Amino acid sequence: MQMLEQHQVSEWLPYREQDKDTNKRDYGQVLLIGGSRGMGGAILMAAEAAMMSGAGLTTVATDENHFSALHTRLPEAMAVPLEDVKEIRHQIKKNTVIAMGPGLGLDEKARDVFRLVLKEVEQHQTLLLDADALTLLSEEKVDLPQMTILTPHAGEWQRLTGLKPEEQSENENRKWANKLGALVVLKGDQTRIYTPEASYLNIKGTPAMATGGMGDCLTGCIAGICAQNEDVLEGVLAAVFLHSYIGCSLAQTRHVVRPTEIAQSLPVYMKQLSTLSK
Ligand SMILES: NC(=O)C1=CN([C@@H]2O[C@H](COP(=O)(O)OP(=O)(O)OC[C@H]3O[C@@H](n4cnc5c(N)ncnc54)[C@H](OP(=O)(O)O)[C@@H]3O)[C@@H](O)[C@H]2O)[C@@H](O)CC1
Ligand SMILES: Nc1ncnc2c1ncn2[C@@H]1O[C@H](COP(=O)(O)OP(=O)(O)O)[C@@H](O)[C@H]1O
Ligand SMILES: [Mg+2]
C-alpha cells in the first residue's frame, strides 16, 4: 500500500497559472445530484466544494425547496429540479463529471433518479457515487460505467460488500474493488483508496474532521478536481489528501473543523500546494 505524500499531490493538483487562452468549459462541468427534502445541506456542501476546487461549471439537481438556500449560499451554481426527468437527462449528457448521493434519500423518487443516471451515463464520463447512492447501488442490479468512483464509509462499504468493519482488510477490499470494477475511496480516520491495480493510504486527517457533512465536502472536492484532471486516479488521490491536509491545518486553531470551512479554504490551499512543484 502506497502512502500519499505532499510532493506527489502538488504535482497532481491542477495548476491554472500558465493556461492563458482558456474559458470555463476548459475546466470541466460538474453535475451534483442529491438533497431530498430536509437534506439540502449535504448536496449544497458538495456543490460548494466542487465550485471552490475550480470546476468550470457547477450544476445541482435537488429538491426545489432548496433552490433559494443554494442560490443564497452559492450564486455561481445552477439548479435543476430533482424530479424533472427531461432536464436531468439533458444535464447528464452535458456534464463531464456526475456526482450523486449526498442527501439523496432512499425513496422511490431517489431510486428513479439513480436508475436514470446509471442508464444514461456514458463511458467517457466520470461517475462518483456517495452516501445514499451507495446504499441504492447495494440494492439495485446495475452495471457501473468504466470510470466509477465509490466513496463509502465503513458502514456503506459493509452494505455493498457484506464485509463487517473488522473484516475490511486490504486483501478483501482489493478483491471487492476488482469485482465492482471501480475506484474505491474507503473513508475513515485513515482513508484507503483501491483500484484494480494498486492501493493507497492517506494518513493525513484529524478527529476535528469527524462531523456531519465532511464526506459530502470530500465528494465535491473529488468531483471538482477530477473535472480538471485528465488522470482520474491522480485527481482522486490529490483530492483525498488535500481535504485532510486542509482539515489538519485548520484544526491547529479549532476544536472542530466545519466542512464549509474546508470548502472555502480550497482555492488558497490549492494554489499553495500546486505552486510548490512549479
Ligand atoms: N447536512 C446534511 O444534510 C447531511 C446529510 N447527510 C446525509 O445523511 C444520509 C445518511 O448518511 P449517514 O452516513 O449519516 O448514515 P448511513 O448511511 O445510515 O450510515 C450510517 C451507518 O453506517 C455505520 N457505520 C460504520 N462505520 C461508519 C463510519 N465510519 N461512519 C459513519 N457510519 C458508519 C453506522 O454504524 P454505527 O456507527 O451506528 O455502528 C450506521 O449503521 C446521507 O444521505 C448523507 O449524505 C450526512 O452527509 C450528514 C450531513
Ligand atoms: N477521526 C477522523 N480522522 C480523520 N478524518 C476523519 C475522521 N472522521 C471522519 N473523517 C473524514 O470525514 C469524512 C466523513 O465522511 P462521511 O462519513 O461520508 O460523512 P458525512 O456523510 O457526514 O458527510 C471522511 O472523509 C473521513 O475520512
Ligand atoms: Mg457520507
Measured from the CA of 45, which atom of ligand 1 is nearest? Answer: 1
Compute the average pLDDT of residues 81-87. Answer: 96
pLDDT of 248 higher than 90: yes
Q: Find the 21 Cα to ligand 3 centroid distance in Å.
A: 38
Segment 212-241, tens digit of pLDDT: 999 999 999 999 999 999 999 999 999 999
Q: Does the beta carbon of 213 lie inside 6 Å of ligand 1?
A: yes
| Atom 12, ligand 2: residue with shortest CA distance | 214
Q: What is the pLDDT of residue 278?
A: 82
C-alpha to C-alpha distance for 100 and 53, rounded to whole angstroms: 17
Query: What single-letter DSSP state applies at residue 27?
Result: G
Q: What is the pLDDT of residues 114-161, one digit of tens each?
A: 999 999 999 999 999 999 999 999 999 898 998 899 999 999 999 999
Which residues are 185's β-sheet partners?
Answer: 193
User: Residues near 122 by Cβ (< 8 Å), separated by ≥ 6?
Assistant: 145
Q: Which of 73, 153, 219 to mutate to test the pocket of ligand 1 (most atoms within 8 A of CB)?
A: 153
Please tell me whether the overall predicted TM-score, pTM, comes out greater than 0.95 for this model.
yes
Which helix or strand (DSSP H or E) is residue 171 part of? Answer: helix 170-180
132 CB near ligand 1 (under 6 Å): yes
Calpha distance 44→212 (Å, rounded): 13
Give the distance (Å) from ligand 3 centre to CA of residue 191. 13
Ligand 1 center–CA 194 separation, angstroms: 21
pLDDT at 5: 96
Q: What is the ipTM of this complex?
A: 0.98
Q: Residue 196: what pLDDT?
A: 83
Which tens digit of pLDDT belongs to each residue from 157-204?
Answer: 999 999 999 999 999 999 999 999 999 999 999 999 999 889 999 999
Sign for the CA dihedral angle at 90, 230, 219, 141 comes to: positive
Residue 190 annotated as lining a ligand binding site: yes
Question: In which residue are the cell numbers 452559492 written?
Answer: 74
Q: From ligand 1's centre to the CA of 93, what distance in Å?
A: 30
Domain range summary for the chain, segments of one domain joined by +: 2-12+24-276
Q: Is 191 annotated as a binding residue?
A: yes
Which ligand approaches the C-alpha of residue 185 most closely? 2
Second CATH level (architecture) for the domain 2-12+24-276? 3-Layer(aba) Sandwich (3.40)
Phi first, then psi, for residue 159 (nearest 5°) are -60, -35
What separation in Å is there between the alpha carbon of 172 and the centre of ligand 1? 22
